[in-house]
Amino acid sequence: MLEFFSGLSPVTQTLLATLFTWGVTALGAALVYVTPTMNRKLLDCMLG
């Protein structure tokens, strides 16, 4: 996987990394809408 990624052009690498970051951020933001009330224990676990 790393060899494939490093073989791509820098512009393509940047695009893929940006899309990945956007996707992870969107997934985290979607949790707000999916779970209207969050368990206090879950919130504590997310903090570390």
* Domain boundaries defined on the chain: 2-47
Calculated CA dihedral for residues 41, 42, 46, 48, nearest 10 degrees: 30
Instruction: Collect the ranges in the chain with pLDDT lower than 70.
Output: none
Mean pLDDT of the chain: 88
What's the whole-model pTM score? Answer: 0.65
Sign of CA dihedral 16, 18, 28, 34: negative
Cα 47 off chain centre by:
16
Looking at residue 29, what is its pLDDT? 85
Cα 42 off chain centre by:
18
